[in-house]
């Protein structure tokens, strides 16, 4: 499972990590060692590229994919951000190598079997308007039943003068954003089949979040508000529902696509809606719900022509009861997947429906 932590980024907020430089020097290892450090081929005009760090010895197995930004508008900030990200990665690498070496000595003295310590890292970048969201996932395994995972979230204002974004920065000054988001999170928890397992009370001042396509996503660490077996809860809140509360300067858009749905079109015929487009979902299964405000007035599931990771065609007819068609509240269609680990809806796409 992956824990969540939000890192503050900026000149003053940079973490001081001792030992080495941001780009670690290649160490000398024994003949059984394989070490590779390379930057993938640069793509002209790209926002970022990947630095691969790989090391395999009798003591460690390290596989790291580290983002290196090259397309931010503020080059000074870009250099600082890259330095912070690389320092965190190299510190993790240094710690695993040190701990593995110490255990190897103990194992040799006591004739214990030595299994290589593992460190893996990867990342995901999403953009919306002037906001860039980065999630860096790090997993460490040093023996035992489970490893330790961590996700560091970075949210960046990509303008001439870039800065780190906190959740509070997104909302208008007169908006009680905590109350607003707490209500939505509690509503989603109440709809969860294991709602009694949640201990959520409120988001924090430094709450982890990201902007993913058409959603504001609130992240929690493993064990933070649920038992460990439920993984890491995340709550997707459609930007469409927050449009009157968000500051316009972020230029956030309620995009009609995300990682698993694209080219979605909805046509109305009487009290029936026909949904077409493409999806790449697990075993081809997707879910939908039609809502009037917070009330769910219709729900079900459908099947794409093929399962993920390939894109499959979808065509779904959804019948709406007559009494809801002229309701004063806006109807919305939600397309989403169900997380196989914890039963939560994920990759939610919200589309307003025309009722007249």
Q: Where are the domains of the chain?
A: 3-164, 167-250, 261-353
Q: Which of 22-31, 54-63, 193-202, 247-256 has the lowest mean pLDDT?
A: 22-31
Cα separation values, 317 from 272, 321, 335, Å = 7, 13, 13
* Sign, CA torsion 67/68/73/79: positive
pLDDT digits (tens, 9 = 90+) for 276-323: 999 999 999 999 999 887 788 889 999 999 998 999 999 999 988 877
Superfamily of domain 261-353 in the CATH hierarchy: Immunoglobulins (2.60.40.10)
Residue 44's pLDDT band (cuts 50, 70, 90): low
The answer to whether the pTM exceeds 0.75 is: no
| Whole-number Å distance between alpha carbons of 281 and 347 | 10
CATH architecture observed for domain 3-164: 2-Layer Sandwich (3.30)
More confidently predicted of 12 and 91:
91
Q: Return the closest-CA partner of residue 232 out of 4, 54, 10.
A: 4
Strand positions, DSSP E, the chain: 3-6, 34-39, 48-56, 60-69, 117-128, 131-141, 148-157, 163-164, 209-212, 215-219, 234-238, 261-269, 272-279, 285-292, 295-303, 312-319, 331-338, 345-353
| Whole-number Å distance between alpha carbons of 254 and 238 | 7
- Decide yes or no: CATH 3.30.70.980 for domain 167-250: no
Q: Which residues of 88-121 are buried (b: 16+ CB within 10 A; e: fewer)?
A: bbbbbbeebbeebeebbeeeeeeeeeeebbbbbb
Give pLDDT, residue 116. Answer: 96
- By three-state DSSP, how is residue 173 classified? coil
What value does the CA radius of gyration of the chain take, rounded to a whole number of Å?
23
């Amino acid at each position: 499972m992956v824990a969540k932590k939000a890192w503050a980024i900026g000149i003053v907020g940079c973490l001081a990590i001792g030992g080495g430089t941001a780009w670690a020097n290649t160490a000398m290892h024994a003949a059984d060692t394989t070490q590779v450090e390379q930057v993938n081929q640069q793509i002209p005009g790209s926002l970022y590229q990947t630095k691969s760090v790989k090391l395999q010895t009798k003591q460690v197995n390290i596989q790291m994919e580290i983002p290196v930004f090259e397309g931010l508008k503020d080059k000074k900030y870009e250099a600082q951000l890259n330095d912070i990200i690389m320092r965190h990665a190299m510190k993790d690498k240094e710690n695993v190598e040190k701990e593995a070496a110490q255990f190897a000595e103990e194992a040799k003295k006591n004739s214990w079997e030595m299994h290589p310590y593992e460190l893996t890292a990867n990342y995901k970048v999403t953009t919306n308007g002037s906001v860039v969201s980065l999630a860096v996932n790090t997993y460490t395994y040093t023996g035992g039943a489970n490893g330790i995972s961590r996700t560091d979230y970075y949210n960046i204002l990509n303008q001439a003068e870039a800065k780190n974004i906190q959740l509070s920065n997104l909302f208008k000054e007169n908006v009680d954003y905590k109350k607003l988001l707490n209500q939505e999170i509690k509503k989603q928890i109440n709809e969860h089949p294991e709602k009694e397992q949640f201990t959520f009370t409120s988001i924090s001042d430094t709450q982890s979040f990201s902007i993913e396509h058409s959603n504001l996503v609130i992240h929690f660490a493993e064990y933070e508000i649920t038992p460990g077996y439920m993984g890491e809860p995340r709550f997707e809140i459609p930007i469409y529902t927050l449009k009157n509360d968000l500051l316009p300067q972020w230029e956030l858009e309620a995009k009609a696509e995300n990682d698993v749905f694209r080219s979605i079109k909805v046509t109305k015929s009487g009290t029936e809606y026909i949904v077409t487009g493409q999806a790449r979902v697990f075993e081809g299964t997707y879910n939908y719900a039609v809502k009037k405000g917070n009330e769910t007035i219709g729900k079900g599931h459908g099947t794409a022509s093929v399962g993920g990771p390939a894109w499959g065609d979808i065509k779904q007819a959804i019948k709406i009861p007559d009494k809801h068609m002229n309701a004063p509240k806006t109807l919305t269609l939600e397309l989403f997947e169900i997380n196989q680990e914890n039963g939560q809806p994920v990759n939610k796409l919200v589309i307003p429906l025309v009722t007249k």
